[in-house]
């Protein structure tokens, strides 16, 4: 990654403008060319530095349902349970955390009913009780990683 | 734009924005409309809050943000909004939510995410933040993540056909 990659990533975290020639706008800001920036985004995705580029719809406003959930998984079963969750398309993120509740994951489902069915399915699959922690209030959303 | 076209547009966008110089024209061609219609629809969705921005999902670990901590606090119910607002806007806090307690297993009701490059610095930053807000005495824990098993933020789950197309 060079300086232009970094400036591009930082700028894109603020969002691509909704105009006909968005890359030209960015090229003017970053003193580059639209072609060059598109190639850079392509390479950053290929290299896995970026995992996605595009609008992220708010699933809740589309009638969907999200939650943050946790499991307390016995150490010997950790990889097995991680594999079980990985196979479920509703699981968007799964992190190991240093805590007795050691597996934390986000579920994204098409409806509240679907979410409650998925939680039930996870309990049945793993034989472990799920800690279900849906968000009740949002105080701040501002994910930004200066690189 | 018809409801069917709007739904088709949203499904295409699930895969990301086409990486061409005129992405909205490329999308328009795929759903049988024109660039003006696509831009209009997307501006409307944006104004309605259906998406915040045409942005990106970073593999923050690949970029060195490996000290990723979830700070959880047990805040008295009467203070939760005030504390949530204050900590949510403190420097370095990227997400801040209220979530339910699940007693007796789980007592914490405020969740803050902090992403940093070094664990010691994240710990110091959180300690200083709690001191500055006179919150050090609140029961709290810091849960560092040690491994990401799955990260595909942004891909939303299949939606039923009955979901309103907003357009």
**Chain B partners of A131 at a C-beta cutoff of 8 Å?**
102, 105-106
Which SS3 state, helix, strand or coil, does residue A104 take?
strand
Helices A78-86, A112-126: inter-axial angle, 10-degree rounding: 150
**Average pLDDT rounded to a whole number, residues A1-15:** 93
Give the residue on B whose Cα is nearest the Cα of A48.
B59
Q: Name which residue leads in pLDDT, B37 or A48.
A: B37
**Average pLDDT rounded to a whole number, residues A55-84:** 90
Give residue limits of the domains in chain B.
3-47, 67-144
Distance from CA of B20 to the nearest CA of A (A): 7
Decide if pLDDT at B153 tops 60. Answer: no
Q: Which residue, among A27, A133, A134, A146, would best test binding to B if mutated, counting the most B CBs under 10 Å from its CB?
A: A133
Cβ-defined contact of A48 to B155 (cutoff 8 Å): no
**Chain B partners of A34 at a C-beta cutoff of 8 Å?**
21
Strand B51-58 to A50-57 pairing = antiparallel
Domains assigned to chain A? 3-46 (no CATH), 65-133 (3.30.70.3460)
Of B24, B146, B157, the CB nearest to A20: B24
Distance from CA of A116 to the nearest CA of B (A): 14
| CA atoms B103, A117, A110, A97: torsion sign | positive
Cβ-defined contact of A57 to B115 (cutoff 8 Å): no
pLDDT tens profile B3-60 = 999 999 999 998 899 999 999 999 999 999 999 999 999 999 999 989 989 988 888 7
**Average pLDDT rounded to a whole number, residues A137-142:** 87
pLDDT tens profile B120-137 = 999 999 999 999 999 999
Q: Looking at the domain that runs over B67-144, which CATH code has it been given?
A: 3.30.70.3460
Give the residue on A whose Cα is nearest the Cα of B113.
A143
Of A23, A48, A138, the CB nearest to B59: A48
What are the strands of the beta sheet with A65-71, ordered from one edge? A131-133, A65-71, A103-109, A91-97, B140-151, B67-73, B110-116, B93-98, A137-141
pLDDT tens profile B90-117 = 988 989 999 999 999 999 999 999 988 8
User: Which string of b and e fits B8-35 if b means at least 16 CB within 10 Å?
Assistant: bbbebbbebbbbebbbbbbbbeebebeb
- B149 pLDDT tier (thresholds 50, 70, 90): low
Check residue B68 and give its pLDDT: 87
**Chain B partners of A53 at a C-beta cutoff of 8 Å?**
16-17, 19, 55-57
Decide if pLDDT at B163 tops 50. Answer: no
Cβ-defined contact of A140 to B93 (cutoff 8 Å): yes
**Average pLDDT rounded to a whole number, residues A39-54:** 93
Gap between the Cα atoms of A136 and A86, Å rounded: 26
pLDDT tens profile B55-84 = 888 887 788 888 889 999 999 999 999 999
**Chain B partners of A116 at a C-beta cutoff of 8 Å?**
none
Question: Can you tell me the ipTM of this complex?
Answer: 0.80
Nearest to A50 by CA among A58, A38, A41: A41
Cβ-defined contact of B21 to A101 (cutoff 8 Å): no
**Average pLDDT rounded to a whole number, residues A108-136:** 96
Task: Kindly report the three-state secondary structure assignment for every residue of chain B.
Answer: CCHHHHHHHHHHHHCCCCCCCCHHHHHHHHHCCCHHHHHHHHHHHHHCCCEEEEEEEECCCCCCCCEEEEEEECCCHHHHHHHHHHHHCCCCEEEEEECCCECCCECCCEEEEEEECCHHHHHHHHHHHHHHCCCCCCCEEEEEEEEEEEECCCCCCCCCCCCCCCC
């Amino acid at each position: 990654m060079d300086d232009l990659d970094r400036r591009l990533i930082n700028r894109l975290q603020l969002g691509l403008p909704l105009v006909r020639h968005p890359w030209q706008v960015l090229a003017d800001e970053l003193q580059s060319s639209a072609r060059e920036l598109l190639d850079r985004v392509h390479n950053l995705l290929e290299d896995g530095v970026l995992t996605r580029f595009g609008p992220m719809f708010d699933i809740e406003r589309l009638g969907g349902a999200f939650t943050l959930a946790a499991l307390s998984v016995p150490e010997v079963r950790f990889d097995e349970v991680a594999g079980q969750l990985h196979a479920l398309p509703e699981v968007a993120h799964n992190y190991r955390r240093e805590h007795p509740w050691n597996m934390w994951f986000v579920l994204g489902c098409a409806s509240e009913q679907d979410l409650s069915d998925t939680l039930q399915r996870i309990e049945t699959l793993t034989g472990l009780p799920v800690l279900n922690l849906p968000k009740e209030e949002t105080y701040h959303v501002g994910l930004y990683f200066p690189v | 734009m018809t409801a069917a076209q709007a739904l088709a547009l949203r499904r295409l966008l699930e895969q990301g924005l086409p990486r061409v110089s005129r992405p909205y024209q490329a999308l328009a061609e795929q759903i049988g409309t024109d660039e003006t219609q696509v831009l209009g629809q997307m501006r409307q969705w944006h104004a309605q809050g259906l998406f915040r921005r045409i942005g990106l999902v970073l593999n923050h670990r690949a970029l060195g943000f490996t000290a990723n901590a979830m700070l959880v606090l047990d805040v008295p119910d009467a203070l939760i909004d005030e504390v949530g607002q204050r900590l949510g806007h403190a420097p370095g806090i990227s997400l801040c939510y209220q979530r339910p307690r699940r007693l007796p297993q789980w007592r914490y009701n405020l969740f803050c995410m902090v992403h940093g490059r070094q664990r010691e610095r994240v710990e110091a930053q959180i300690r200083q933040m709690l001191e500055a807000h006179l919150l050090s005495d609140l029961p709290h824990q810091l849960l560092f993540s040690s491994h990401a098993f799955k990260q595909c933020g942004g891909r939303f789950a299949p939606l039923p056909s009955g979901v309103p197309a907003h357009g």
